[in-house]
Amino acid sequence: MAEQLKGACIIGQSGGPTSVINASAYGVIKTALENPNITKVYGAAHGIRGVLDDVLYDMGQEDPAELELLLHTPSSALGSCRYKLKDSEVDDTDYKRILEIFKKYDVRYFFYNGGNDSMDTCNKISKYMQKAGYECRIMGVPKTIDNDLWGTDHCPGFASAAKFIATSCMEIYHDARVYDTGMICIIECMGRHAGWLTAAASIATHFGQGPDLVYLPERDFDMDKFLADVKRVYDANKKCIIAVSEGIHDKDGKFIVEYGAADAAVDSFGHKQLGGLAATLANIIKGKFDAKVRAIELSLMQRCAAHCASETDVQESFRSGKAAVECAVSGITDKMVGFARSKDENGNYVCEIKLMDLSDVANTEKKVPDEMINADGNGITDAFIDYALPLIQGVPQMKYENGMPRFAHLKKVVAK
Amino acid sequence: MAEQLKGACIIGQSGGPTSVINASAYGVIKTALENPNITKVYGAAHGIRGVLDDVLYDMGQEDPAELELLLHTPSSALGSCRYKLKDSEVDDTDYKRILEIFKKYDVRYFFYNGGNDSMDTCNKISKYMQKAGYECRIMGVPKTIDNDLWGTDHCPGFASAAKFIATSCMEIYHDARVYDTGMICIIECMGRHAGWLTAAASIATHFGQGPDLVYLPERDFDMDKFLADVKRVYDANKKCIIAVSEGIHDKDGKFIVEYGAADAAVDSFGHKQLGGLAATLANIIKGKFDAKVRAIELSLMQRCAAHCASETDVQESFRSGKAAVECAVSGITDKMVGFARSKDENGNYVCEIKLMDLSDVANTEKKVPDEMINADGNGITDAFIDYALPLIQGVPQMKYENGMPRFAHLKKVVAK
């Protein structure tokens, strides 16, 4: 048993939001508020920026009933950021400031809720605090719709996005074949380097009501082969539904979206801001087929459609936040909470908590493995379906008021 | 009491589908199958085209449990069309063929499930059959997400689309303000001439979590005023969410989408095929503000997201189909089923069936009235909220299987 450590905790959220990142945060906040070793629970406004700017919310002043609504409230309730910490060997200004704030509020627990880049931030802070000899237990709480965090079976947030994508694709399937005229429909899903989300479109196909063709960034995209694929499907029944990942690229690494669009902008992490791929492909297809061609971008909805979340994802996200606090209080630090998959005696899916070193997780990407992609590179295999189906179970147990979702309203009282 | 009329019935679906048009069809099919005066229930494949092509499904051969799933199955399960009948005075070829098919199958009841154009079709057939002296009771069963049918308080299909739009806008609101950086988000809703759907985005605003600015096609759109509106909102809090109707146009009638796009294509009814408006406006805004600008098109999802339907809409749609059959059997013909709104003794919303002459409904459009649009023309008034809220109540009581919606699978046995 590690020595008891008393002090305040900070929870921060970072990176692109998901439908369930607040469920993870609620897992941290509720568990921390109930733990006698944690003297105060602060929420950092806009992730690490809130620490640097000394804008911390006193979560103890929130109404518990509102906090509970975080389970089904999309986006990052505390605010997010895409701020990248410099290497502390190069410039330790930010780190000194973070240490100053930690000391000011007697912060002994730090929970950071995000994806790869956030785990990098979390890892850097952890290593700096160790070097500085400041005792603080630091835990990463994962989230990413992209499902690309290394070492965990799956990531909180993925399943809800997957469920929205699969459900929307199934609904679009019905809509897109309503007329007796030709129709080609291209559905664009998020995913720069990993095709997990686009693969989720195939869940609808598994039920006989989904895309005919699915292209992931794990395979080089060949325009001629694509057009031949579309022709083969379209010639057979005058309908073709295609799901594409925003990050598909040709064998030279050129993004397909760039075939038709101006060079994409670049965000503060150096990632290209992609988008408009479906429209680009639609323009290429138009004229080649006697069909109406429709481009659909699932856009922000795939990461914020809490009304279509997976309740399994909601509950697992909560558990990941809860586990982070319990582990930290028990003496663990410098880890990210992850999931391991196992089965119960009846062969049913069971999700267990596992821990990974932050330094292993930071900036490592997990792509869709070969065995989940078909030989033609235009669809997925049953291995993916077997993997994904247990994750999307359960209708979200949301609160509705007057026909609309009732999301959490936080007071956000700034700590003095 | 009108004379009893025995014979078969045909139900056809036409025009753009909705999340609940199948609930209306199910109301017709179930009620007709149970009625002793109706000898056979046929579903026309792709609306009036199925009649012309002699492709009728024998609905009596369907599994009743599958038929019941139609309540929550999006799109037009029988298939739809956008076929416009010529004036019978000019060319009666189609009418003669329809009469031939009616006689072949002893069709004495015809139910047509669609929007303005479909009511025009329904009206033309009704008038032709009267002139031809062929006894057949003909009823229109309304549907349109556009809510633009004349004479009815609201249209089946509108509320579910409105609920999806309002819910998505509320979720996007949370997502779009997650970062501490500037963000302008433009959300495009369907609606060529009537702004009902775009107005629905304001339901989210009513709950404090929706678009700041809403532009309907009922008002001429002025680009300079728009940019000034955006600047005012954006300067105040570095966020601005805008909902626009695809059909907004300037004072000269030029569609705003044409400001940035090539001339839009025209469909078989002579309607311009609009789309890409959000992207057009985003391109105009970009560079004028220090903000990330995101264009979101709700696209097909707004008319097929059955998972986010209004259960009130589902049940009312079913009732409209049921009422059409009951009225026809009782001797009524040449009418469209509509809704009248009243209140019970406690002041609660009550929806009652009313009937309208088909000739009054056909091709008449009902726009959003002045009192529902604010003076600035960039938002809606409480009159709209009062109108819309009762319609979007209720979470759809869908069946799920393995985490996904379980939609109806029809056998579609073609009648001999």
pLDDT number for residue B263? 43
Tell me what the mean pLDDT of segment A267-282 comes to: 68
Percent of chain A predicted with pLDDT > 90: 90
Coarse DSSP helix, strand, coil percentages of chain B, rounded to the nearest 5 percent: 40, 20, 40
Q: How far is CA B42 from CA A158, A344, B25, B150, B309, in A?
A: 44, 49, 11, 28, 27
The SS3 assignment for A70 reads helix
The total of other beta-carbon atoms located within 10 Å of residue B33's CB is 17
Query: Cβ contact (<8 Å) for B180 and A79?
Result: yes
Tell me what the mean pLDDT of segment B314-323 comes to: 98
Chain B residue whose CA is closest to A266: B292
Tell me what the mean pLDDT of segment B115-129 comes to: 94
Distance CA B295, CA B353 (A): 40
- Report whether B404 contacts A203 (CB < 8 A): yes
Query: Cβ contact (<8 Å) for A276 and B276?
Result: no
pLDDT number for residue A262? 46
The DSSP code for A214 is E
Query: Cβ contact (<8 Å) for A389 and B395?
Result: no
Tell me what the mean pLDDT of segment A33-46 comes to: 98
- Over 80: is that where the pLDDT of A59 sits? yes
Any binding-site annotation on B146? yes
**Closest C-alpha to A140, from A111, A116, A117, A115:** A111
For residue B204, list chain A residues with Cβ-Cβ distance below 8 A. 404
Query: Cβ contact (<8 Å) for A300 and B402?
Result: no
- Over 90: is that where the pLDDT of A139 sits? yes
User: Which amino acid is it at B158?
Assistant: F
Residue positions counted in chain A: 416
pLDDT number for residue B262? 46
Among A163, A168, A305, the residue with its CB nearest the CB of B403 is: A163
For residue A174, list chain B residues with Cβ-Cβ distance below 8 A. 17, 73-75, 304, 407
Tell me what the mean pLDDT of segment A10-18 comes to: 96
Query: Cβ contact (<8 Å) for B178 and A76?
Result: yes
Phi, psi of A134 (to 5 degrees): -95, 120
Query: Cβ contact (<8 Å) for B179 and A403?
Result: no
For residue A74, list chain B residues with Cβ-Cβ distance below 8 A. 171, 174-175
Phi, psi of A258 (to 5 degrees): -80, -10
The reply to whether B106 belongs to the active site is: no
With the CA atoms of A25, A28, A32 and A38 taken in that order, what torsion angle do they form, in degrees rounded to the nearest 10? Answer: -100
Query: Cβ contact (<8 Å) for B178 and A392?
Result: no
Rg (Cα) of chain B, in Å, rounded? 22
Mean pLDDT, chain B, whole residue set: 94
Q: How far is CA A416 from CA A28, A50, A105, A413, in A?
A: 22, 13, 9, 9
pLDDT digits (tens, 9 = 90+) for A249-264: 999 999 999 886 444 4
**End-to-end CA separation in angstroms for chain B:** 34
User: Which amino acid is it at B292?
Assistant: K
Provide the annotated binding site of A for Mg(2+): 116
Tell me what the mean pLDDT of segment B101-113 comes to: 98
Distance CA B211, CA B204 (A): 7
Alpha helices in A18-63 (DSSP H): 21-34, 48-52
Q: Are strands A56-58 and A38-44 parallel, antiparallel or unpaired?
A: antiparallel
| Mutation for testing the B interface, residue in A57, A180, A190, A348 having most B CBs under 10 Å | A180
Q: Which of A146, A148, A313, A334 is flagged as catalytic? A: A146
Distance CA B4, CA B24 (A): 24
The SS3 assignment for A239 reads strand
pLDDT number for residue B3? 81
Q: Which residues pair with A9 in a beta bridge?
A: A41, A109
pLDDT number for residue A287? 82
Tell me what the mean pLDDT of segment B238-259 comes to: 95
The SS3 assignment for B178 reads coil
- Per DSSP, the residues of B300-366 read THHHH-GGG--HHHHHHHHHHHHHHHHHHHTT--SEEEEEEEEE-TTS-EEEEEEEEEHHHHTT-B-
pLDDT number for residue A264? 43
Distance CA A155, CA A393 (A): 15
pLDDT number for residue B361? 87
pLDDT number for residue B217? 98
Q: Are strands B56-58 and A239-245 parallel, antiparallel or unpaired?
A: unpaired
The SS3 assignment for A117 reads helix
Query: Cβ contact (<8 Å) for B402 and A207?
Result: yes
pLDDT number for residue B265? 47
Provide the annotated binding site of A: 16, 116, 144-146, 190-192, 246
Distance CA A136, CA A106 (A): 9
Question: What tokens does B345 get?
Answer: 């003794």
Query: Cβ contact (<8 Å) for B204 and A307?
Result: no
pLDDT number for residue A270? 54
Among A82, A180, A403, the residue with its CB nearest the CB of B163 is: A403
Distance CA B132, CA A6 (A): 91
Q: How far is CA B206 from CA A406, A412, B195, B240, B290, in A?
A: 13, 22, 17, 16, 28
pLDDT digits (tens, 9 = 90+) for B158-211: 999 999 999 999 999 999 999 999 999 999 999 999 999 999 999 999 999 999
pLDDT digits (tens, 9 = 90+) for B328-384: 999 999 999 999 999 999 999 999 999 999 999 877 789 999 999 999 999 999 999
Distance CA B75, CA B22 (A): 7
| Mutation for testing the A interface, residue in B178, B203, B386, B401 having most A CBs under 10 Å | B178
pLDDT number for residue B268? 54
Provide the annotated binding site of A for substrate: 144-146, 190-192, 246
- Per DSSP, the residues of A296-362 read EE-TTHHHH-GGG--HHHHHHHHHHHHHHHHHHHTT--SEEEEEEEEE-TTS-EEEEEEEEEHHHHT
Chain B residue whose CA is closest to A160: B403
Distance CA A219, CA A373 (A): 9
For residue B172, list chain A residues with Cβ-Cβ distance below 8 A. 300-301, 304
pLDDT digits (tens, 9 = 90+) for B267-285: 455 554 445 899 889 989 9
Residue B264 pLDDT grade (very low, low, confident, very high; cuts 50, 70, 90): very low
The DSSP code for B67 is H
Distance CA B396, CA B409 (A): 19
Q: Which residues pair with A112 in a beta bridge?
A: A12, A140
Residue A212 pLDDT grade (very low, low, confident, very high; cuts 50, 70, 90): very high
Q: How far is B125 from chain A (nearest CA, A)?
A: 21
Tell me what the mean pLDDT of segment A374-381 comes to: 98
Q: Which of B146, B148, B229, B334 is flagged as catalytic? A: B146
Q: Are strands B272-273 and B265-266 parallel, antiparallel or unpaired?
A: antiparallel
For residue B174, list chain A residues with Cβ-Cβ distance below 8 A. 17, 73-75, 304, 407
Chain B residue whose CA is closest to A399: B395
User: Which amino acid is it at B378?
Assistant: N
- Report whether B36 contacts B329 (CB < 8 A): no
Residue B145 pLDDT grade (very low, low, confident, very high; cuts 50, 70, 90): very high
Distance CA A132, CA A112 (A): 19
pLDDT digits (tens, 9 = 90+) for A63-121: 999 999 999 999 999 999 989 999 999 999 999 999 999 999 999 999 999 998 899 99
